[in-house]
Structure 1
């Protein structure tokens, strides 16, 4: 449940504020007789209104008498909407799948009891911030993976790459065969940034997993030679013409349609794309991790989560009990696994326990989660201490878009350093 929409909230979103309580955070509980909690959710193709209705009803069984007043964000950009609500004194009691680092400094969220987290999740500290967990680490994703059409690789005589040079060779063979090597969807900044996310996560964090923490400490910079070299890889893919024509004008939604239609051979995207693979293509679409120079496997990893609880909630015990029940409900994870390609992270459960039907690409990529390998924070997607400051994620995505038209890679990295300094002052 890490997926974000890059689209700005429409003006009509402001009108949705009237659907919330007119009072501040937490007062929804007390103002409605001590039994009502406001709960911010969002809709997506897999998380439909019916899903929310059923999942809320199941969790309510563990908290007799509690009432849930659902507040639906007008887009999947939950953080922007939550901040609008907070600014207008309407911060919800419960918030689904937000980025906790954007709220903890202001003291807006209540941490979970660590013993409960330790008892129930495979990576209890996977999304912890300064040692405290604000969203239960229920699921994880790899951002990005590279999805590919086996049939198009066979047509071009290309091999599945493990090294960066092999990746370039595969792109060249595909292009020579008259095929578009890669789909991107660059009109949406987060999608445009997938190659940059892959390159820096694999090449820089793969060698120095504490790079982001060292950036906070001022010991490293985006303009350092190793970061510039990694970012230059994306620029190389652009200059060699390996993305579809007019990639910056292709929306994220259209990029999925294009790739599924076989208009491109490869598609760098977060593992949530697994939920969008058509069943009639399950045996044709494969997956591999972003290639490194030496062929070592580096997994750009992000631990997601479910529900945050506001600090000023009127009844913390009720709110926490509801959030815990929702987070441990295997039916909720089933929907995320099948529809959003989320990898489940509950203890003492196998994939079979969720009674899911998944593609071979899901099983193959899930193996990177369960086995020992080099897992690093996916830059621009982490929800833990490695989360970028302020608007850092959007700044990072914007730099990736700029690399389509600018050969000044170091200059774009310098802008990230400047934005970092502004955000951390």
Structure 2
């Protein structure tokens, strides 16, 4: 796939490429303007209108620049960017990609550190090898455990669990009351992995925040006893019947509808779900973090950001100016906060400064970000030095789905070790 011709790439892109299959390098227009290509993505919250408006607003702030939008046809933006690069179409700007995947190939240009330091709360939050390739504009908690307070009350549950033992007791009590304890959009690999992301972040990274970097150094493995024990918790949830019937066939979008309509009591999902909390009965929902054995609080944290800049762009000054303008536009933050549940990370601003209307569960969740607590990189979601090797996320997702039907926890972890070793040779 990485060696397809330009024609084949055009056919593969189809209608998803809003601007058609043109070369992705910056070009000079008839009036000396620079035309930049910008890889984005679309979701029910971040619609085509959002991207078009945000691009137009940033264009107004940068004289002599025109931006053409490219829309990734799937959630695998890294894979699609690689496909474009292989066919000579690597974009000038790329939204929400994993920097480590491209930095080693010399494809990304770092931001000026003084600009980053001046504008963001955690300047090094998503730095890779000491340099910032994506501005740390926002953050997510991946996952939270969202719950329906009415269904908890119906089952006689009066408080959110703090320990893993309390959590499994809550699951058992809900099941006994005829209520599905946990929603899982297992038909989409990333959604199927959410329980494992929460458990591994809490149990493994909570005790050893440098575990992923130690895995690079060969000091730890997925087959180590502590990792296997953590993953076994997920397998036990499946065997005890705490997920809905046919969970592996439920698509991500349907899992949101199922949970918000009261078909399950809990839902482990990234904090972007906050943008999907129904406004007409938002007070029915609350959230807690994946419980640990001893009740200690571990926040699985991911610092996200806006766009990376191609090191190959023919107009780095204009590309940087556009990226900086977009990254500091308050209107973009309003949309990300309200629609995508993003936690803003601009310096010197409160939620009120963005003019947003958010739910109480959003405000409560945001305190995990602003409070001093134990924050670790959300397993598999980091874009900094804790990011996994290219391709490992897919292997991790596959293991998550496989463990829904297989008792061979050790075997699945051995596959991850082999995939890691192959990816880092």
Q: Same fold (TM over 0.5)?
A: yes
The residue aligned with 2:300 is 300
The residue aligned with 1:309 is 309
* CA distances 1:264-289 after superposition (whole Å, capped 9, x unpaired): 00000000100011112210011000
**Is the 8 Å Cα contact of residues 10 and 21 (structure 2) preserved in structure 1?**
no
- The 2-side partners of 1:78 and 1:184 are apart by 23
Q: Does 1:371 align with 2:374?
A: no
The residue aligned with 2:241 is 241
**Is the 8 Å Cα contact of residues 164 and 291 (structure 2) preserved in structure 1?**
yes
The residue aligned with 1:380 is 380
* CA distances 1:160-191 after superposition (whole Å, capped 9, x unpaired): 10000000000010000011000001111111
| 1:15-414 pair list within 5 angstroms | 19-20=19-20, 22-23=22-23, 25-28=24-27, 33-158=32-157, 159-414=159-414
Cα offset, 1:12, TM superposition: 4.9
**Is the 8 Å Cα contact of residues 186 and 252 (structure 2) preserved in structure 1?**
yes
Counterpart secondary structure, 1:116? helix
Counterpart secondary structure, 2:336? helix
CA RMSD of aligned residues (A): 1.8
Counterpart secondary structure, 2:182? coil
> How many residue pairs were aligned?
416
The residue aligned with 1:419 is 419
Counterpart secondary structure, 1:92? coil
Counterpart secondary structure, 1:61? helix
Dislocated runs of 4+, deviation >4 Å: 9-12, 14-18, 29-34
Counterpart secondary structure, 1:267? strand
- The 1-side partners of 2:246 and 2:10 are apart by 25
- The 2-side partners of 1:145 and 1:63 are apart by 38
* CA distances 1:238-293 after superposition (whole Å, capped 9, x unpaired): 01000001111111111001001100000000001000111122100110001000
Cα offset, 1:73, TM superposition: 2.0
- The 1-side partners of 2:281 and 2:378 are apart by 28
Cα offset, 1:26, TM superposition: 2.8
* CA distances 1:26-46 after superposition (whole Å, capped 9, x unpaired): 343589945111111222212
Cα offset, 1:144, TM superposition: 0.6
Structure 2 stretches lacking a partner, 5+ long: 1-8
* CA distances 1:33-86 after superposition (whole Å, capped 9, x unpaired): 451111112222122222122211211122112111222222343222211111
Counterpart secondary structure, 1:308? strand
Summarize the Cα distance change of 1:22–1:119 in structure 2 as closer, same or farther, 3 Å threshold.
same
Cα offset, 1:15, TM superposition: 6.2
Summarize the Cα distance change of 1:199–1:351 in structure 2 as closer, same or farther, 3 Å threshold.
same
- The 2-side partners of 1:418 and 1:50 are apart by 43
Which is further off, 49-58 or 192-201?
A: 49-58
Cα offset, 1:143, TM superposition: 0.5
Structure 1 stretches lacking a partner, 5+ long: 1-8
Summarize the Cα distance change of 1:271–1:17 in structure 2 as closer, same or farther, 3 Å threshold.
closer
Cα offset, 1:152, TM superposition: 0.5
**Is the 8 Å Cα contact of residues 34 and 314 (structure 1) preserved in structure 2?**
no
- The 2-side partners of 1:10 and 1:399 are apart by 32
**Is the 8 Å Cα contact of residues 302 and 378 (structure 1) preserved in structure 2?**
yes
Cα offset, 1:346, TM superposition: 0.5
Counterpart secondary structure, 1:287? strand
Summarize the Cα distance change of 1:340–1:303 in structure 2 as closer, same or farther, 3 Å threshold.
same
- The 1-side partners of 2:33 and 2:10 are apart by 33
**Is the 8 Å Cα contact of residues 140 and 304 (structure 1) preserved in structure 2?**
yes
Counterpart secondary structure, 2:223? coil
**Is the 8 Å Cα contact of residues 29 and 37 (structure 1) preserved in structure 2?**
no
**Is the 8 Å Cα contact of residues 142 and 378 (structure 1) preserved in structure 2?**
yes
- The 1-side partners of 2:328 and 2:183 are apart by 36
Counterpart secondary structure, 1:353? helix
- The 2-side partners of 1:280 and 1:17 are apart by 36
Cα offset, 1:314, TM superposition: 1.0
**Is the 8 Å Cα contact of residues 300 and 378 (structure 1) preserved in structure 2?**
yes
- The 2-side partners of 1:75 and 1:27 are apart by 24
Summarize the Cα distance change of 1:54–1:225 in structure 2 as closer, same or farther, 3 Å threshold.
same
Summarize the Cα distance change of 1:18–1:260 in structure 2 as closer, same or farther, 3 Å threshold.
closer
Counterpart secondary structure, 1:245? coil
Q: TM-score, normalised by structure 2?
A: 0.95
